Each structure stands twice: as structure tokens, then as C-alpha cells.
Amino acid sequence: MREQGELERKIGTFQAITINMSQMMGAGPFITIPLVLTVMGGPQAMFGWIAGAALALLDGQIWSELGSSLPGEGGTYNYLKAAFHDRTGNLMPFLFIWSVLLATPLTLSSGAIGLANYAKFFFPGMTGLQTKLIAVAVTLLAVALLYRQVTSVAKISLVLWIGMILTVVLIVATGLLHFDPHLAFDFPKGAFTPNKFFLGLGAGMLLSIYDYLGYYTSAYMGDELTQPGKTIPRSITLSILFVALIDLLMNIGIIGYVPWQTAAKSSNIGSLFMTKAWGPWGGTIITLLIIWTCFASVYTGLLGASRIPYNAAKDGVFFKQFAHLHPKMKFPNYSLLVIGAIMVVCCFFDLTTVINALMAVQIVVQFMMQIIALSVLRKKRPTLQRPYKEWLYPVPSLIAFIGWGFVFFSSGKSAISLAVVWTVVGILVFLGRSFVVKNDWPFKKRA
């Protein structure tokens, strides 16, 4: 029998897939298609999405092994603690929570900002401040809808997922009906010159992998999943495959009807595409559905993110208030409210800066360190029960590590500087906290 303060296992594989996909789709392709076309300089942008999907699948293997062997609320927090605690105490899990406080609100605010930008289709005279205030309102609505039991949350996620699927089906079907291969594969001269292509590929991968972020959302909810050892690997892999197919079809379908030079300059490519194909009514319908899809990503992202500080607080690594569960509805309400509040502030940032910064910050502490954590656990805890094991280990880990490094150095000097500074400040905060309370490495009191 479950204790009163425990979370409830109510989310199955299908619901976990819908949660992952809703977070992954969101504003992503609807705001990044023009950006990837611009940085890669033509239809070869499709290789950016293919490379991003390959990296996500490789990294998904790491998430699947770690998530199935160490299921629980918090995901990466649990993996870093299990791997590094005996040598550096809570430093690595603390740094992860520290990075989450910046990267997660940035990630989610990009969805809210994307939604607000598409609202300009209906209100073209909106000022910059009005657009940001709409993004804030979206955040507050998502928090209000998440303030309930997880069973109700899963049902809402399913409804939002259905709207997302309808959106992409309409765009993909329209692309197929109006497809012109001469437009879709109108590669400019010199498009595949090695230096130019690979330089653009790095920037394209950074944007496309942003579109895939969220494939691991279910791993943050290990204590709320039925059979997490099976549900986590299945939901991660299937989510990536489905979204990769959707994104590629959307990318090729859109530039197979709208010349890539025009698409690269559009701020609301989905609305432009459907308006050209079906007139004003087509643009109106798809814009409403894209707004729906963007909201789904914000909603499901907040759902997963609110569980991360909760687990850290239960372990005493983070502020104890974050370990509080709502007495009746059994969800981490303090954590949800704080993440939502920080996200409100992030809604006032520039979208392009947001994407580059969040990628750089997450890569440093989360993705690359998590790959190292898997290898450490393989050696340190060989008898750990692993319902899922990475195929062809350690080859996928090595390729994924190189891939993340490539994306990191493609994020730009300002984003890299922010990531490094934020991480160094986090280390100093951790050391200062450890020195004051003397309960953690390297100042832990000796018995």
C-alpha cells in the first residue's frame, strides 16, 4: 500500500508517449523551419533535421538505460547522484538542478513566445510588449491547469496531443497535395561544399535538436509511470521516431510548395503555407491549431520540470519547500509555482537568444555528463538491474558525446560564455552552501 505522501502510478506507455510528443512538437518546427533554412542556406536544411534525429536517438538510448534502471522523479538528477555521489557528494546533482533553474524556464518560455508570435496572425498590430504579455498569460494558464491530480493532467495531455496530431496531419497532407520536387530540392550552387555545409550543419543541428527536446519528459516522472522499466524506453524511442518523421515531412512538404527563399524570411511559416494553399480560412484554422500545439508543449514541459526540484528537495540537496506535495491532489505544487514564476520572467527575453542559451546550458551539465554517468555506473554497479541496455555499448555513447560537443561549439560565443559562467557560479554556490552547513563534499563533517 502506498504511503500518504507518495506519488501515484497512473501513467501508461501511450500516455507517456503523448506527454513526450506534446513537449517535443510545441512551437519547435513552426518557428525553426525558417531559421534552419537560413543557417544552412537552402533545402539541405533537411539534413539538419536528420542529424538532429540521429543524435536524439543515440542520446535516447542513454536515457532509456538510465531511466529504466533508476526510475524515479527527477531523471538526470538521480543518474548523476548515483554515479558521482561517492566522490563529489551532491555537487553534480546540485549543478543539474542549478542548470534546470535557467534552462527549463528558457525552454518553456520559447514555446510561449512562439505561441504569442503566431497570435500576430490575428492581431498584426500587436506591439512587442503585448506579445510578451500574451506569453506570460499562456504560462499562468498552464500553471492553473496543472494544479490538479496527475490523472486529470494525463487526460488533458491526451486532448492536447490529439490537437497536435491534427495540426501536423493537415500540414503534411497539404504538403503532399501541393508538392513540387523542383522546389523541395532546389539546392543552391555550392550547397554541399564541405566547409560551408558542415558549418551550417552545426547551427542547423542546434536548432533541430531543440525541436526534439522533451523526448525524455517521461523519465522525469518515473514514480508516476506504470512499469517504468518498459514504459520509459518505449516512450522515448517511439516519441523520437514519430516526431522525426513528422518534422522531416513538414520541412520537405512546406518548401515543396513555398520557395525556400520565401520560407526562410517568414516569422509564421505554418500560417503562410496554409494561407497560400487554402486561402484565409486555411491560415486561420492552422494558426489556431499551432497555438494549441504550442500550448501543449508548455503544459507538458511544466509537468515534467516541476518534478525535478521535488526529488532533489526530498534528498536534502535543494530547498525543503520543493519537496512539498499538495495534501489532496498529490503533486509538487511549490515546485510548479516557482518554475512557473521564473518562466514568466523568461518570457520577456529574445527568442533566438533563448534557444542558443538553453541548448548550451543543458549540454554542459546534463547531456554530456549523463553519458559519462552511464559509463561510470556500468563499472561501479555492474549488478544493477537494467531492464533496458544500450545497444552496441559504448559506441552510441561515444558518438552522442561527440555530437553534443559539436552542437555546443556551434551555439556561439555568447551562449557558451553564459553556460560556462552559470556553471562556475553554481559550483561556487554549492561550495559556499556546503561550507556553511558542513554536510556535503568537500566540507562534510567526519564521523
Query: Which neighbouring-strand residues pair with 225?
Result: 11
Q: Smallest Cα–Cα separation from 35: which of 110, 103, 102?
A: 110
250 inside domain: yes
446 inside domain: no
143 inside domain: yes
Q: What count of residues does the chain have?
A: 447
Whether the per-residue pLDDT at 276 is higher than 90: the answer is yes
Query: Which neighbouring-strand residues pair with 73?
Result: 221
Whether the per-residue pLDDT at 1 is higher than 50: the answer is no
Whether the per-residue pLDDT at 233 is higher than 50: the answer is yes
Please indicate whether residue 9 or residue 182 has the higher confidence score (pLDDT). 182
CA torsion sign for 300, 329, 73, 226 is: negative
1 inside domain: no
Whether the per-residue pLDDT at 190 is higher than 60: the answer is yes
**Model confidence band, residue 149 (pLDDT cutoffs 50, 70, 90):** low
Cα within 13 Å of Cα(141), Cβ side: 14
Number of domains in the chain: 1
Q: Is 42 left (phi over 0), alpha (psi -120 to 50) or beta?
A: left
Whether the per-residue pLDDT at 305 is higher than 80: the answer is no
Q: DSSP secondary structure string, 366-391?
A: IIHHHHHHHHHHHHH-TTS--SS--T
pLDDT at 27: 67
Q: Are 337 and 299 in contact (CB under 8 A)?
A: no
322 inside domain: yes
Whether the per-residue pLDDT at 132 is higher than 70: the answer is yes
Tens of pLDDT along 386-418?
999 999 999 999 999 999 998 898 888 888 998
Tens of pLDDT along 74-83?
688 889 989 9
> Is residue 97 helix, strand or coil?
helix
Q: Smallest Cα–Cα separation from 69: which of 314, 363, 374, 305?
A: 374
8 inside domain: no
Q: Which residues contact 217 (CB under 8 A, 6 or more apart)?
A: 19, 20, 23, 300, 301, 303, 304
225 inside domain: yes
Average pLDDT of span 353-358: 80
**Model confidence band, residue 2 (pLDDT cutoffs 50, 70, 90):** very low
CATH of the domain at 410: 1.20.1740.10
Tens of pLDDT along 359-373?
888 898 899 999 999
Q: Are 110 and 32 in contact (CB under 8 A)?
A: no
pTM here is 0.82
Task: Judge residue 125's burial from the number of C-beta atoms within 10 Å of its C-beta, 0-12 exposed, 13-18 middle, 19 or more buried.
Answer: exposed
Average pLDDT of span 211-240: 87
139 inside domain: yes
Domain that holds residue 76: 13-437
